[in-house]
């Protein structure tokens, strides 16, 4: 009976291993092409920029005949307007943060505002129901209410924390690929390409390393092509990314175009500086590694070493064969 149970266990484990291997092998084919999807979204954004700038050149701004913003959902918009919370969350800082996280449309702004309005209300209701009806802890009523309000407060800041986390991940991806993008841009510029063509070429090549950077460079190319003031395009990408190294490079390009200095020289200097910064960051991480390994070494490695070294001695001592 015992052997039969072991055979069943081995059969189940083998079947699970086979299924896991099949899923692991098929996973790359089941996943969608995120790069192509993201670049299609950027292409649609580029079309909007082209329509907007052509309309501005031909008809003048502010006539209201062409709208490029996506209409937000009616329910979300009605709730936001009813509570008069649009101005509370749609300030310039919030819009910049949404762009830095990759959310550019009006729908994203309305969703963010809606989540910060309705989230605390739902969180408070759920907390009150769970504490007063489900678990009923032996706490005073004021303590229960305080816990419920604390949970609602957490729900209020949850969208902001999610936004900051997404910004951090996006900036990390751009920072890692930015020095390589500058090297590619330097090659393009020195081969005789213009800045627009160079950024367009780099955006296609850098997509395998950072989709986020490819998006930003594609939008930069569109703005350089259609905006009347090229300086606005360079400043916009600095605001959209929120990365100091990107802003420094764009400032250098603005000054190079203003004073007529060669773009290749400016890009070469900035590329060297960014490579040095990336190397310095890697060295700092390497220097901080030994102190971080101290606690894991004490907790996991040293006990294993003591067991291996002193284990046979302890066995011989307690069995009387010492």
How many angstroms separate the CA atoms of 295 and 56, rounded?
A: 62
Q: CB-based burial of residue 24 (10 Å sphere; 0-12 exposed, 13-18 middle, 19+ buried)?
A: exposed
Residue with the larger pLDDT of the pair 38 and 68? 38
Report how far residue 201's alpha carbon sits from residue 194's, in angstroms, rounded to the nearest whole number. 11
Q: DSSP character for 105?
A: S
Residue 105: what pLDDT?
80
At residue 31, the 3 state secondary structure works out as: coil
In whole angstroms, give the CA distance from residue 97 to residue 322.
70
Which helix (H) or strand (E) segment holds residue 191: the answer is: none
Confidence (pLDDT) at 166 = 93
Q: How far apart are CA 275 and CA 238, in angstroms?
A: 19
Q: H helices within the chain, ranges in order?
A: 2-30, 34-59, 74-82, 86-89, 92-100, 106-129, 141-190, 195-205, 211-226, 230-241, 244-259, 263-287, 289-296, 302-319
Give the model's pLDDT for residue 17. Answer: 67
Q: What is the pLDDT of residues 205-263, one digit of tens each?
A: 998 888 899 989 999 998 888 888 889 999 999 999 999 989 999 999 999 888 888 88
Query: pLDDT-based confidence at 57, cuts 50/70/90?
Result: very low
Rounded average pLDDT over 83-90: 58
Looking at the chain, the whole-number percentage of residues with pLDDT higher than 70 is: 73
DSSP 228: S
For residues 92 and 59, the answer to whether their CB atoms sit within 8 Å is: no
* pLDDT for 307 beyond 80: yes
Q: What is the mean pLDDT of the chain?
A: 79
Q: Is residue 270 classed as helix, strand or coil in its secondary structure?
A: helix
pLDDT value at 46 more than 90: no
Phi-psi region of 84 (alpha: psi -120 to 50; beta: other; left: phi over 0): left
Per-residue pLDDT reduced to its tens digit, 166-187: 999 999 999 989 999 999 999 9
């Amino acid at each position: 009976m015992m052997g039969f149970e072991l055979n069943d266990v081995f059969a189940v484990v083998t079947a699970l291993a086979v299924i896991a291997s099949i899923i692991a092998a098929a996973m790359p084919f089941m996943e969608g092409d995120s790069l192509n999807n993201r670049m299609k979204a950027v292409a649609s954004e580029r079309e909007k920029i082209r329509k907007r700038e052509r309309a501005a050149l031909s008809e003048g701004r502010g006539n209201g005949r062409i709208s490029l913003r996506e209409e937000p959902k009616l329910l979300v918009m009605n709730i936001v307007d009813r509570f008069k919370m649009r101005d509370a969350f749609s300030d310039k800082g919030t819009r910049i943060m949404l762009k830095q996280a990759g959310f550019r449309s009006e729908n994203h702004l309305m969703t963010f505002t809606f989540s910060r309005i309705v989230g605390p209300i739902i969180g408070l209701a759920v907390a009150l129901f769970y504490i007063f009806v489900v678990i009923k802890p032996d706490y005073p009523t004021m303590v229960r209410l305080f816990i419920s309000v604390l949970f609602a407060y957490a729900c209020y800041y949850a969208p902001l924390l999610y936004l900051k986390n997404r910004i951090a991940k996006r900036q990390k991806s751009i920072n890692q690929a930015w020095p390589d993008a500058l090297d590619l841009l330097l090659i393009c510029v020195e081969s005789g390409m213009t800045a627009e063509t160079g950024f367009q070429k780099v955006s296609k090549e850098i997509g395998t390393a950072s989709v986020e950077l490819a998006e930003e460079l594609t939008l930069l190319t569109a703005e350089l092509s259609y905006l009347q003031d090229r300086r606005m395009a360079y400043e916009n990408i600095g605001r959209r990314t929120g990365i100091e190294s990107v802003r420094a490079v764009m400032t250098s390009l603005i000054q190079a175009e203003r004073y007529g200095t060669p773009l290749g020289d400016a890009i070469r200097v900035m590329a060297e500086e960014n490579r040095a910064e990336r190397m310095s960051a890697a060295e700092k991480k390497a220097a901080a590694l030994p102190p971080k390994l101290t606690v894991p070494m004490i907790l996991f490695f040293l006990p294993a070493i003591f067991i291996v070294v002193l284990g046979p001695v302890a066995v011989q001592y307690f069995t009387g064969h010492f």
